[in-house]
Amino acid sequence: MAARDGVDEILEQWAKERPDLDASPIGVIGRISRLARELEQRLEPVYKEHGLEPGWHDVLATLRRAGPPYRLRPSEFTGALMLTSSGTTKRLDRLEHAGLIARSPDPDDRRGILITLTPKGRKLIDRVTDAHLANERDLLEALSETDRKRLAELLRKLQLGLP
């Protein structure tokens, strides 16, 4: 018999109580939801071990991936981080206070600013990224490389297909 999880129990309960319902979406959505929470709990300790507060990794990694000069406008973070502009501002304030990013006027927009990864921030995100990716590989250990590729394809298809 295949291993069972909590979602199997939920599906069985619905089948017993409401056999007229097609509860099969719970098999996917319920597992994705539970898995997302579980993965976040297992990613945060690596960030914390390297002195990052929750949410900082995303900002630093976004700047690092932007490539030299590791600079973006705040509006570019808002979309990438799925935060409101006030949420982004608060996060940027804390990162600036820690010396990991710097703000400067945008020469192309008198009202705008640019966010730049500082050398200290770059060193930190490079160090954290190695540990982060090793942690992610460990978390995916139950899947073969073929399984990981197929799952990534299916999740992409699901995300792009959302209305």
What is residue 83's predicted lDDT score, i.e. its pLDDT?
60
Closest CA to 46 of 141, 142, 127: 127
Set out the domains of the chain in order of their start, with CATH numbers: 54-163 (1.10.10.10)
CA distances to 27, 53, 60, 94 from 139, in Å: 21, 21, 22, 29
pLDDT value, residue 55: 86
Q: Say what the pLDDT of residue 140 is.
A: 97
pLDDT digits (tens, 9 = 90+) for 102-122: 999 988 888 889 999 999 999
Calculated CA dihedral for residues 129, 133, 138, 140, nearest 10 degrees: 140
pLDDT of residue 84: 65
- The list of the chain residues with pLDDT below 50 reads none
DSSP strand pairing (101-106 vs 109-117): antiparallel
pLDDT in the model for residue 122 = 97
Give the number of C-alpha atoms closer than 13 A to the C-alpha of residue 122, restricted to the C-beta side: 14
